[in-house]
Amino acid sequence: MNQEKRSSLREIYTKFIIGFTLFLSIPSIGLYFFVFKPLIQKSSEQTEANIQKLSRYLEETNVNLIEREDCQEGILGFFHYKNKNQPEVVICTNNFNSEDRSQYWNILVHESVHVAQSCNGGLLSNEEEFKYMVGQLTGFSMNDYMTIHGAYSSNSYETEVEAFFYENRYHQEIFKVFEKYCLNING
């Protein structure tokens, strides 16, 4: 084969590779812009709406929602009584990227479960429901289940199982739980 023919074949091959790559890329780009990006945006908007709604629920039950930047390392949030009559949910923005609204939402759900437990005067689940929660955590979030055993005292085991369960597996149900136990709606 002469040099001219090789050069021509190389050029055709190169154009084929570029064309084929574009052929594969355009649908991927289209999928991103017309399918995935709107879904991501809708999900992000829903997360923000959920945060706003749960924040209003806390306000309606006179629970202060506080963001702090001076929490102990590793603490993402907590629920406590500032004094005898003033409950607070504290979100520790110094220990995670607070721009990550999905993580913020998960922390808010977790701490709001503790608020609902306080409104109820104890656990939200019966014995069978609690066993189901433990099974779900060990099956789908062993890391969180191990965190409960390593980072929390044994007397908070049940309350933390419920909080992690709602945070990870059932977070949309926090509204119903909060309405039932704290706002006395459909209770």
> How does pLDDT run across 78-128, given as a tens digit for each residue?
999 988 889 999 999 999 998 899 999 999 999 999 999 999 999 999 999
Supply the pLDDT for residue 20. Answer: 67
Residue 106, pLDDT score: 93
Bigger pLDDT: 67 vs 24: 67
Higher-pLDDT residue of 99 and 43 is 99
Greater model confidence, 66 or 149 = 66
Q: How many structural domains does the chain have?
A: 1
End-to-end CA distance of the chain: 86
**Global confidence as pTM:** 0.74
Closest-CA residue to 67 (of 15, 21, 107)? 107
Residue at 101 is within a domain: yes
The residue with greater pLDDT, 161 or 12, is 161
Domain around 96 = 45-181
Whether 32 is in a domain gets the answer no
Domain-located, residue 56: yes
Nearest one of 53, 159, 49 to 110, comparing CA atoms: 159
Is 40 contained in some domain? Answer: no
Across residues 16-42, what is the average pLDDT?
58
Listed ranges 15-29, 141-155, 166-180; the one with the highest mean pLDDT: 166-180
What pLDDT, on the 0 to 100 scale, is given for residue 39? 46
Q: How confident is the model at residue 5 (pLDDT cuts 50, 70, 90)?
A: low
Residue 120 lies in a domain: yes
The verdict on residue 70 lying in a domain is yes
Mean pLDDT, the chain, integer: 83
Q: So what's the pLDDT on residue 58?
A: 96
User: Of the spans 76-80, 164-168, 169-173, which averages the highest pLDDT?
Assistant: 76-80
Provide the residue count of the chain: 187
Q: Is residue 15 in a domain?
A: no
Q: What is the CA radius of gyration of the chain?
A: 25
Does residue 16 form part of some domain?
Answer: no
Distance, in Å, from the CA atom of 47 to the CA atom of 104, rounded to the nearest integer, reads 9
